[in-house]
Amino acid sequence: MTTKIQKAACIGGGVIGGAWAARFVLAGIDTKMFDPHPEAERIVGEVMANAERAYGLLTMAPLPKKGKLTFVKTIEEAVEGADWIQESVPERVDLKRNVITQIDAAADPKALIGSSTSGIMPTELQRDMKHPERMFVAHPYNPVYLLPLAELVGGEKTAPETLELAKARLAPIGMKGVILKKEIEAFVGDRLLEAVWREGLWLIKDDICDTETLDDVIRYSFGMRWAQMGMFETYRIAGGEAGMRHFIAQFGPCLSWPWTKLTDVVDLTDELIDKIASQSDAQSGAYGFRELERIRDENLVGIMQTLKGSNGGKGWGAGKLLSEFEAQLWANAPKPEAKASADLLKLLEPKVHPSWVDYNGHMTEFRYNQCFADAADAFLRLIGVDMDYVAAGHSYYTVEAHNQWLDEAKLGDALFVEAQVLPSDGKRIHTYMWLRRASDNALLATCEHMMLHVSSKEGKSVPPLPAVLEKFNQFADAHASLPVPETAGRTVGQRK
């Protein structure tokens, strides 16, 4: 497949380059990293750890086996054999141009070369290349391992198909490439951000508000709007039935009112910098940098998961993208093989997600049920009940379960669910499951679970199709000799 990156190279490994490497490695792509900074390995390692933690919370879909990350000593070594090379060196046009020219000389002429620049035009960067047609800007947003956007911008010598290919190759690593029609300094996102930043600096300098108030104005209002719809779609709604045209007619005149500091650029004096820094300390100083970073990442994860459930479960924006990414992960995951044996089946390895805990940091009651329900789904996939099977009109419904809650799970705990198939005929699937904590094997909860096979067309219970029944029987037979767990068949309140 041409749309899947086979080997990646990262030139420059700070917060941005390190997160690109994390995106590649977590998508199963072997990646070489070149960064002459003496602490590059430590910095990249920290970013990688953040990214792995965030991915662990973001999705339960099966991530592929991690790609290999190798630190190398030269650009030439890094780019050898790579089909995507991402440049993330400091933001100086001469430095970036030199590095890109050096990459160009050493790389396979068909390899794509993306630059992480925040604002330099690709025409500037590709000036001295032999194969400039495959060079473009792929401008990501911090934290790159969570925010999916990459603005794709071509220069005068960039081939149009390069941008389309780049966009197609970003999807399998969970990113959203958007192609700009023309190059422009700072592209689209940083144009908008710079406009807000400039206006914000004036508001602080003129003592209209402090940094905390300004941030509150953003996050309690349009920030939430923009997490899910952008500016134009939001205003389209504001226009009501009359739509966009009405909105512009109504608010257009404001453009000529003195609503922004149109013509002036604020002078960044030491005094202003001190003012901002001390207001920022007052606002956020109670949290360390790492703590803020963790809170931010958990919030972003939660927002994307929320948007995944939006629009009647079809997903919206970054949540729809997450859905599609997970569908790819499932499609690319090795098909679960019916390795029936007398061992218990390890069905699920969830982590306790921030949204799963109460104010004490303990996993709430019904999240234990969620683990067992997800584990039952995993068993169904194991016997061939996949999306196609369900789409064709057959499925299993859970009809009954018995749970025991035995111990607490805490935020971030790695858990796992093991299962034993109890004697049942496949039209019914009867299992017993144990939820344990990975670190010490402590038993947290049990579930005796019963599913029934149904035809959604006929609206009634029917036997499963032969292929599914055969696989189910393999598991049932392999577990037939296991002793029935002591608490199977238990009633609520039964004395031991």
Site for its own copies in 407-446 (CB under 8 A): 411, 424, 428, 430
| One-letter amino acid of 88 | S
- Cα gap 224→317, rounded to integer Å: 13
The answer to whether 312 is annotated as binding is no
- The stretch among 59-67, 100-108, 124-132, 355-363 that binds its own copies (CB under 8 A) is 355-363
* 96 touches its own copies (CB under 8 A): no
Q: Of 103 and 356, which CB lies nearer to its own copies in the complex structure? A: 356
| One-letter amino acid of 93 | V
Site string for its own copies, 239-278 (x = CB under 8 A): -xx-xxx--xx-xx-xxxxxxx-xx-xx-x----x--xx-
- Cα gap 21→415, rounded to integer Å: 27
The answer to whether 12 is annotated as binding is yes
- Cα gap 308→323, rounded to integer Å: 6
The answer to whether 412 is annotated as binding is no
Site for its own copies in 70-89 (CB under 8 A): none
Site for its own copies in 314-353 (CB under 8 A): 314, 316-318, 321
- Cα gap 193→196, rounded to integer Å: 5
Of 52, 76, 108, 298, the one binding its own copies (CB under 8 A) is 298
- Enumerate the β-bridge partners of residue 113: 85, 135
Q: How far is CA 74 from CA 35, 70, 215, in A?
A: 8, 12, 43
Number of residues that bind its own copies (CB under 8 A): 156
- Whether 168 contacts 188, CB under 8 Å: no
> CB 87 → its own copies: shortest distance, Å?
18
- The stretch among 4-12, 124-132, 157-165, 299-307 that binds its own copies (CB under 8 A) is 299-307
Site string for its own copies, 29-58 (x = CB under 8 A): ------------------------------
* 231 touches its own copies (CB under 8 A): yes
* 402 touches its own copies (CB under 8 A): yes
* 355 touches its own copies (CB under 8 A): yes
Of 93, 106, 159, 180, the one binding its own copies (CB under 8 A) is 180
* 359 touches its own copies (CB under 8 A): yes
> CB 297 → its own copies: shortest distance, Å?
10
- Cα gap 68→116, rounded to integer Å: 22
Of 52, 133, 233, 324, the one binding its own copies (CB under 8 A) is 233
The answer to whether 45 is annotated as binding is no
Of 39, 156, 206, 343, the one binding its own copies (CB under 8 A) is 206
> CB 313 → its own copies: shortest distance, Å?
4
- Whether 102 contacts 79, CB under 8 Å: no
The answer to whether 67 is annotated as binding is no
The answer to whether 16 is annotated as binding is yes
| 225 CA to centre of own chain | 20
Q: Of 216 and 470, which CB lies nearer to its own copies in the complex structure? A: 216
- The stretch among 32-40, 292-300, 328-336, 378-386 that binds its own copies (CB under 8 A) is 292-300
Q: Which residues belong to the annotated binding site for NAD(+)?
A: 12-17
